[in-house]
Amino acid sequence: MSETTRTRLAIDGAKPTMEQPVPKPVRWDDRERKQLAEMIDQPSLFYWNGPQTKLLLERFRRNYPLEFAIPCSSGTAAIHAALLAAGIGPGDEVITSPITDMGTVTGILYQQAVPVFVDLEAHRYNLDPRAVERKITPRTKAILAVHLAGNPCAMEELMKLAEAHDLVLIEDCAQAWGATYRGRPVGVIGHIGCFSLNDFKHIGCGDGGIVATSDPEIGERLQLCCDKGYDRVRGITAPEFLAPNYRISEPQSAVAAVQMERMPDIAAKRRRLGDRLTARLQGVPGIQAHHVEEEDSCTYWFYMLRIEPAAFQVDRARFVEALIAEGVPAGAGYIPAPLYQYPLFQNEAFFGGRWPIKEMGLTDMDYKTVCCPESEAILKTAVKIVINQAMDEAYVESIASAILKVAQVYGVQ
């Protein structure tokens, strides 16, 4: 090939594929401002019976038709409250994903229960139901399924396992606003759905969360679990069990109530853009797209493809550098390591450097021996691409062109 026809990359001095900076969404505007202005005239900013919180929950339930929806201070709080309300306690095992936010497991540990990490599906990056089944023991009490990046888990298979073994199935929907599993929103399929409104999620109010269920027994307890054990419905403030203060407040609810109205459009836009990228990456040698089941919809909190190391002359670090040079908002991997490899787990440094349930003989878990090979491979081969609602189809097309160009130049022929 002559010099003139060979494709050159931006990292080698050619013109970048993408000329435009990464589009940045405007997250809030006059609608939030107006809602906050109404709120400031209220005599109280307390959540219980507050008009902003009521509005937030009413709008939440329009999207997620569940009997009980309790607002709280974070996604981490929502998950902890769900576990507490479901009666998860010392020595109970909770099966979950090793590739997730710490907030998924914090509540498990605070309940003195045991996170049991099982391996993930290679291209959906969610719990592999067969791996889950193998890890079920008489101590297993719950499955905490994370819809990573807004991609629905294999809910039917997980629900079957939950029913067969009498387990609570909790959905971590922190990254999955607007995602649907076979036409139904994720969060309404398992026993309890947990949502985050932190600043980085599809919609946010600084910090906040919602935990919701249609199970009457769990539902009755959820409010108490977020509010020091105080029963606001009956006005009883002599707690029967220990619960933290995970209350939301009216300023957060005011913002979140408006954000909830924006949610369906944000989710739909991200779904369209992410699916468009997948369509363009089909059949590219060495590139495996972010897999979404045909009947489901992923709302791409991020897009994550994998590269086959043997298909390229360069390592992932160089591949990603080349993408960035082309102007692609890309990064290598997602979290630094699967959760069980964090010092916290390796050193069992949970409670003042100790792990009471292990000292009591309620668990023999040893995170030093845990290994989820597919999860480890995912983190070593993943390339994360930013998708957001301010982007348009043309922008995503140029992301795809840049990926194709880098893959072609670095490909092993």
Ligand X SMILES: *Cc1c(COP(=O)(O)O)cnc(C)c1O
Residues that bind ligand X (CB under 6 A): 74-76, 100-101, 103-104, 146, 172, 174-175, 196, 198, 209
CB of 34 to ligand X, least distance (A): 25
Whether 304 and 149 have beta carbons less than 8 Å apart is answered as yes
Closest CA to 265 of 63, 70, 65, 54: 63
- What order of strands is seen across the sheet that includes strand 287-288? 287-288, 303-307, 382-385, 330-332
From residue 73, how far is each of 148, 249, 356 by CA, in Å? 21, 8, 27
Q: Cα angle vertex 296, ends 290, 299, to 5°? A: 60
Nearer to ligand X, 37 or 102 (CB): 102
CB of 327 to ligand X, least distance (A): 27
CB of 79 to ligand X, least distance (A): 6
CB of 75 to ligand X, least distance (A): 2
Nearer to ligand X, 145 or 325 (CB): 145
CB of 176 to ligand X, least distance (A): 8
Positive or negative, the Cα torsion across 273, 278, 279, 281?
A: positive
CB of 117 to ligand X, least distance (A): 14
Nearer to ligand X, 174 or 277 (CB): 174
From residue 290, how far is each of 45, 50, 77, 199, 240 by CA, in Å? 42, 41, 29, 24, 46
Whether 39 and 255 have beta carbons less than 8 Å apart is answered as no
Nearer to ligand X, 50 or 209 (CB): 209
Nearer to ligand X, 260 or 314 (CB): 260
Question: How many Å apart are CA 132 and CA 117, to the nearest integer?
Answer: 9
CB of 249 to ligand X, least distance (A): 15
Angle between helices 250-281 and 393-410 (to 10 degrees): 50
Nearer to ligand X, 153 or 322 (CB): 153
Which structure tokens are listed for 395?
A: 């922008």
Instruction: Name the β-bridge partners of 304.
Output: 384
Q: Which residue is nearest to ligand X (CB)?
A: 75
Nearer to ligand X, 68 or 195 (CB): 195
Question: How many Å apart are CA 151 and CA 291, to the nearest integer?
Answer: 9
